[in-house]
Structure formats: structure tokens, C-alpha cells
């Protein structure tokens, strides 16, 4: 067993000048000046400067001479306060153990994105990536906390499925014994099953979309938080969405201050997302806004990336768009009883150009209507027999939504590209490492 050593952040917090300490980590930067060697040693909590001075070191000086970036080390030494050290504190080493030397580290700064993606397994050690990994952790934790505190059951829908939720063109096909199966695009249909035994359910699963997308907002594999509940109408579900999102933003701002600062996130903009309820506009109103802004768009058109971006500029907080034309939305969305040409669907768009982070709806709970929509979409109704059964055996009004975890992390972190919201991004052509 390894005797436990303090985190590097604890050296700053709990160890006074002159106290002896042992730390473990990786060499992050190294400077050799005169007779001394300065090494910044990093662990998950931060980094500290270690000073190697021949006169203070009992272990072999040769080990110090050979130190390289990303070598893994254990250092014993004495804490010293010194203004010349980053953070104002350093460790004067008395002993060095090297667990593993590193050949010249392939990332030195200034590399282009293709190169960095190919050494992603090493790039994840950078301070920006560490910050993003931590922000994602905190956001997932907060969303989960909120759901559990509010009485939602966590469930485990399948990843391998026999049929599509939406279109078939974007499915990843896999071999399933002697048949074909597909990687799940959404757990929604299964969550709709699970509201009958559990009323209010959710799941956090990977979703897969084989879209040939080449945008900064799409991944082929992303983490999908989906919720579904019986006796929730669209309004109820929008309330869940805004409560949950604002809670997660608040928690992240509270617990990940340093990381947001490292990423240069303007948190004054995030603060506005703490106030709920979020504004709600209908699709009709969105079209009018866009027309006023000079976009060539008419009722019935789906809005594209430019239009969506323009819309988000009208708001400083996340906001909802509701009541879309039926033909631009999925078959399972419930028709508005007052206006059959629109559905009870909603999107939650993040401000600052980030756009859609949630898509949800009240579900069609009438057997005939759902059956007709399936046929009208050209889908094979036999694939959906079990799903149609839900409308036969005690059908219930219900609603749900799906949230893209990486989209949320991207907006809250203020980053340019979704690939940095996931450690091992996947899209067309990218499967390594």
C-alpha cells in the first residue's frame, strides 16, 4: 500500500513554513538555472514549485538532472514561503523518488488541433482540460442531485435497440448475434415505458448519432440526460427543465470558480441564468423576430444555425421556444388540442449564441393519433407495437425532455467547441484515441 500523501492544494492550505511534507504528482514545468532545478509538480488539485538544491538533497542528484516534463515523482521536502514561487509557496526538496521518467512530452504549446486530437490521451493533462473535466463532473453531480432530491427515479434503459426513435439514417448499426441492432439515439421511448411502474424517471446514458455533421455543436457520441413523467404537461416539464438547469449553473459557479476563471469565463453572464422562470416565446413569435431581423424565413420553416444564433442574441438568459409546426418535429409529440397544426414541443436555448441544450415535449397519448403519425412518417409500425401498447394499457398524459450534457458544459464553460466538453470526442472520422 502507498502511504497517503496530501493533495498539492492542501500544501498551500494546511502546511506552514518549515513543515515537512511529501507530495506525489507529475512534473509540469522544469527550469534549470545555475546550480538549481525548479520543477512545477502537478496533481489533480493544482501545482507547486519544487526547488532542487544539491546542498539540501539527500537522494542522488543524477535523478534530478534527468527529470523531464511529465515524469511521475514523489518529493519529500520542507515548505517555504517565497514570493518568487507561483502561488507564493514552494517545497525545498530533501528527497526525490522517480516512478517513471517521460521522454520529451509531445505537447509543448502551439500545436494545431489535428495534432492535439491525436495526442488527446496526453492533452487531457493540460490545465484547461483538467478544468473542463471538473466542471463536467460538478454539472452532472448537480443535475443528479436535483433529480434525486425531487423524487425522480434513476433508471437504466438499453443502449442496444432494435429500432430507431427518429429517422433511420443516423443510426449506428452493430452486429447483434445473427441480426442487426442499433446503438441508442435516445432512451425516450424506454423511459416512457418506465413511467408506468415509476411515475417520474430519468436516465443518464450515452446517445449515438451517425450524422455526418461537421459543426462545433455535434458529437457522434454524447451524454444524454433524459427525464420523463406521468401527469406532467408541457408547462410542468418546462418548469423541471429550468429548475434543474439553473440549479446546476448555480452549483457550478459556486464549486468551480477557479476552473471558470482559468477558462476566462465571464461569469456575470452566467449569473443571469440563475433567475427563473426563463422567458418563453412561441415558434410563431420566433419567426416574427427573425423576420424583423431580416431573415428570409416563413412560418413552417425550421430555423437553421444562423437563425438560432440570432434568436439567442435577443436574450441574456436561457429561453424556451414552444409550439412548433407539427411537420418539423418528431412523431411522438402531442398535437396542441387548440391548434392541430402545432405540437406541444419545446426547446431550451442557451444565450450567447450557444443555442439548443434541451429538446422536449408532451407526448402523444392517444393510440389512434400516435398510430397515424407513425404511418404518416413512413415508419414500420411493427417496430413500435410495444410503444403503442403504452397508449392501450392505461394511457396517461405525460411529458419529457432530453438534455445534451456536453452542450450544457460547453455553454457554462464558455468554450468554442463541443469536443472539449468530452474527454474522448467522437465524430465522423474520429475514433482515436
Partner RNA sequence: GCCGGGGUAGCUCAGCCGGGUAGAGCGCCGGGCUGUUAACCCGGUGGUCGGGGGUUCAAAUCCUCCCCCCGGCGCCA
Contact footprint for RNA (CB under 7 A): 29, 31-36, 38, 49, 51, 53, 68-69, 82, 84-86, 90, 92, 104, 106, 108-115, 117, 166-167, 170, 186, 209, 211-220, 222, 224, 302, 304-308, 328, 330, 355-359, 402-404, 406-407, 417-418, 429-430
Min dist CB 32 to RNA, Å, is 5
The grid coordinates listed for 208 are 449515438
Min dist CB 219 to RNA, Å, is 4
Q: Which is nearer to RNA, 17 or 254 (CB)?
A: 17
Min dist CB 393 to RNA, Å, is 26
φ, ψ at 199 (rounded to 5°): 65, -65
Q: Which is nearer to RNA, 367 or 424 (CB)?
A: 424
Q: Minimal CA–CA distance to 288: which of 316, 317, 314, 326?
A: 314
Q: How many CB atoms lie within 10 A of CB 214?
A: 9
Min dist CB 83 to RNA, Å, is 8
Q: Which is nearer to RNA, 254 or 299 (CB)?
A: 299
Alpha carbons 41 and 400: distance in angstroms, whole number: 47
Q: Which is nearer to RNA, 30 or 133 (CB)?
A: 30
Q: Which is nearer to RNA, 310 or 367 (CB)?
A: 310
Alpha carbons 269 and 63: distance in angstroms, whole number: 48
Sign of the torsion angle spanned by Cα atoms 161, 163, 166, 167: positive
Q: Which is nearer to RNA, 137 or 217 (CB)?
A: 217
The grid coordinates listed for 189 are 421511448
Query: SS3 of 402, please?
Result: strand
Q: Which is nearer to RNA, 378 or 429 (CB)?
A: 429
Q: For the chain, how many residues are written?
A: 433
Min dist CB 179 to RNA, Å, is 26
Q: Minimal CA–CA distance to 164: which of 196, 133, 120, 210?
A: 210
Q: Minimal CA–CA distance to 237: which of 208, 269, 212, 201?
A: 201
Min dist CB 325 to RNA, Å, is 11
Going across the sheet that includes 160-161, the strands are: 160-161, 179-183, 173-176
Min dist CB 284 to RNA, Å, is 18
Amino acid at each position: 500500500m502507498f502511504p497517503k500523501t496530501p493533495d498539492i492544494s492542501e500544501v498551500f492550505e494546511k502546511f506552514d513554513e518549515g513543515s515537512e511534507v511529501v507530495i506525489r504528482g507529475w512534473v509540469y514545468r522544469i527550469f534549470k538555472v545555475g546550480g538549481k532545478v525548479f520543477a512545477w509538480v502537478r496533481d489533480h488539485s493544482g501545482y507547486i514549485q519544487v526547488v532542487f538544491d544539491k546542498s539540501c538533497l539527500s537522494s542522488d542528484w543524477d535523478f534530478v538532472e534527468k527529470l523531464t516534463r511529465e515524469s511521475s515523482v514523489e518529493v519529500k521536502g520542507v515548505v517555504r514561503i517565497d514570493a518568487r514561487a507561483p502561488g507564493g509557496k514552494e517545497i525545498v526538496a530533501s528527497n526525490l523518488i522517480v516512478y517513471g521518467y517521460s521522454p520529451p512530452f509531445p505537447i509543448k504549446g502551439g500545436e494545431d488541433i489535428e495534432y492535439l486530437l491525436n495526442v488527446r490521451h496526453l492533452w487531457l493533462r493540460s490545465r484547461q482540460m483538467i478544468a473542463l473535466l471538473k466542471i463536467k463532473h460538478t454539472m452532472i453531480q448537480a443535475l443528479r442531485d436535483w433529480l434525486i432530491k425531487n423524487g425522480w427515479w434513476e433508471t437504466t434503459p438499453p443502449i442496444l435497440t432494435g429500432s430507431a426513435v427518429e429517422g433511420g439514417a443516423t443510426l449506428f448499426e452493430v452486429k447483434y448475434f445473427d441480426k442487426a441492432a442499433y446503438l441508442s439515439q435516445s432512451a425516450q421511448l424506454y423511459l416512457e415505458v418506465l413511467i408506468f411502474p415509476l411515475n417520474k424517471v430519468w436516465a443518464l446514458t450515452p446517445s449515438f448519432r451517425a450524422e455526418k455533421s461537421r459543426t462545433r455543436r455535434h458529437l457522434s457520441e454524447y451524454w444524454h440526460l433524459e427525464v420523463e413523467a406521468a401527469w406532467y404537461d408541457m408547462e410542468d416539464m418546462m418548469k423541471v427543465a429550468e429548475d434543474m438547469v439553473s440549479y446546476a449553473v448555480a452549483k457550478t459557479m459556486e464549486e468551480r470558480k477557479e476552473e471558470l476563471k482559468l477558462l476566462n469565463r465571464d461569469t456575470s453572464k452566467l449569473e443571469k441564468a440563475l433567475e427563473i422562470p426563463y422567458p418563453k416565446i412561441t415558434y410563431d413569435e420566433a419567426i416574427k423576430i427573425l423576420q424583423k431581423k431580416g431573415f428570409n424565413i416563413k412560418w413552417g420553416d425550421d430555423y437553421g444555425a444562423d437563425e438560432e444564433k440570432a434568436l439567442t442574441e435577443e436574450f441574456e438568459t436561457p429561453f424556451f421556444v414552444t409550439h412548433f409546426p407539427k411537420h418539423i418535429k418528431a412523431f411522438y409529440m402531442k398535437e396542441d388540442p387548440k391548434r392541430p397544426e402545432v405540437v406541444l414541443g419545446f426547446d431550451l436555448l442557451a444565450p450567447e449564441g450557444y443555442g439548443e441544450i434541451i429538446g422536449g415535449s408532451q407526448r402523444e397519448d392517444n393510440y389512434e393519433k400516435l398510430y397515424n403519425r407513425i404511418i404518416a412518417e413512413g415508419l414500420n409500425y411493427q417496430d413500435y407495437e410495444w410503444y403503442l401498447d403504452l397508449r392501450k394499457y392505461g394511457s396517461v398524459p405525460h411529458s419529457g425532455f432530453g438534455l445534451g450534457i456536453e452542450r450544457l458544459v460547453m455553454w457554462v464553460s464558455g468554450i468554442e467547441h463541443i469536443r472539449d466538453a468530452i474527454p474522448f470526442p467522437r465524430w465522423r472520422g474520429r475514433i482515436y484515441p
